[in-house]
Amino acid sequence: MENIEALMERMKSDLAGGKTDEEIGRYLLPWLEKDAPAGGKLAERMVTLPDRSTARLLHRMFGATQDKKVRKMVKRSLYRLKSKGIVVEEVSSGQEHSILRPLQGETREGFGSGIDFLGNRVLWLIVPHPGRGLGVIHGVVSDREGIVDFSQEEMARKEFKTFFKEVKEKNPFPIVEMDPSYVAYLFGQAYQLNLEKKRASSQAYLQAKSEIDTIKKDYTKPLIYAYLQADDVAGDDRFLRRGADLLKADVFSSWRVEEDQIRPYAEEIREAEESKIVLHPSQKELRFQGIYQKALTELFSGERRFLYRRRLEEMAYVLFKSGKEEEAKISLSVAIDLEKPLNPIQPNPFLSQLVMKSIFSLLTEANEKKAKEVSLIVKP
């Protein structure tokens, strides 16, 4: 029989891999039946996996045992999860469920994608409508413009599962589970940005707003801080030093500074490269570094720095829920470092690499375009 630590690792891996609480329950609850006393210790350890699925698993454990001590420890763990901001349904002393039967009544679900280089992401809010099916709320939100696309429709659960599976397969970014109240909060923040920017709000959103507002909770910090402790990450310089490596990850592969913002610095690099003034390689490299530093300072000394801090906090959550805890810690470390003014002596590794990557990508594209135009010229 698996011991508690081995079971915790298995659960952690399965949750990160997207398995449902029903699938995990198939091996967890039979284990609980065979070793009820250890179930209480397991319930206490499960608090280290603050997730809505964990709360549902604890509910299943409560219904699968009659051991009063275990039930008491399960209820205590549910309370601790609730204090961490996880949505937890109340349990009653008489609540009983069969080992594999899901909880009665459907619960709301939330999902969110990674963020692209323009600050756009996809959000999903699934709200059961008894007798009608599921209310599927979908939107694309921008951290610069607000809600840029929004729709709401009714679907049967089976229809939604098939549809959503296809969406996850085709989406270039991972789509991870989020607390519904946080998804509703993100919609609310995007709507406020619409108002601030004086952009017309989607009529579809205005029709769904009252339902979204009933689900929304106010969050003082991004969701990742319910899973990773800021002090642990910020105090470890090895995470910050690895910030440049983030851009090698698939979820950051498209990230670059917008073309209109980076072009002036790319032009300076090109001019320095093509200059007729003969410079020693070390002098030329010093000149390049000066341009990189200038771009970093001018682009990220103000509001843009805070914009990227929030993007990296949100991406840390996506990485964490995708089972990439190490990368999540790096992303969060970089984000926390961006709370401070830029240090010209020790610049933020992620932003430094982002600037260089953006300049290099733009110059490469320009060279390829030029080469293609030359190849089309027919010699007489």
pLDDT tens digits, 178-202: 999 999 999 999 999 999 998 888 8
CA geometry: angle 307, 211, 156, nearest 5 deg: 105
Per-residue pLDDT tens for 198-212? 888 889 999 999 999
User: What CA–CA distance (Å, rounded) separates 352 from 258?
Assistant: 15
Token couple for 304: 């843009």
Element (H, E) at 109: strand 109-113
CA geometry: angle 82, 125, 52, nearest 5 deg: 25
> What's the pLDDT band for 374 if we cut at 50, 70, 90?
low
Token couple for 46: 């499960």
Residue 111's SS3 state is: strand
User: What CA–CA distance (Å, rounded) separates 197 from 189?
Assistant: 12
Secondary structure percentages of the chain, helix, strand, coil, to 5: 60, 10, 30
More confident residue, 375 or 334: 334
Residue-by-residue DSSP string for 299-358: HHSSHHHHHHHHHHHHHHHHHHHTT-HHHHHHHHHHHHHTTSPP-SSS--HHHHHHHHHH
User: What CA–CA distance (Å, rounded) separates 25 from 159?
Assistant: 24
Query: Rounded mean pLDDT of 157-182?
Result: 90
DSSP letter for 221, please: S
What was the pLDDT predicted at 106? 61
Place of tokens 């001019």: 271
Task: Quote the mean pLDDT of the chain.
Answer: 85
Token couple for 318: 């996506």
SS (H, E, C) 118-173: CCEEEEEEEEEECCCEEEEEEEEEECCCEEEEEEEEEECHHHHHHHHHHHHHHCCC
What was the pLDDT predicted at 279? 64
> What's the pLDDT band for 124 if we cut at 50, 70, 90?
very high
CA geometry: angle 252, 249, 231, nearest 5 deg: 85
Range name among 60-64, 144-148, 238-242, 301-305 with the lowest pLDDT average: 60-64
Cβ atoms of residues 321 and 54 within 8 Å: no
Whether 132 shows a pLDDT value over 70: the answer reads: yes
User: What CA–CA distance (Å, rounded) separates 212 from 152?
Assistant: 11
Whether 100 shows a pLDDT value over 60: the answer reads: no
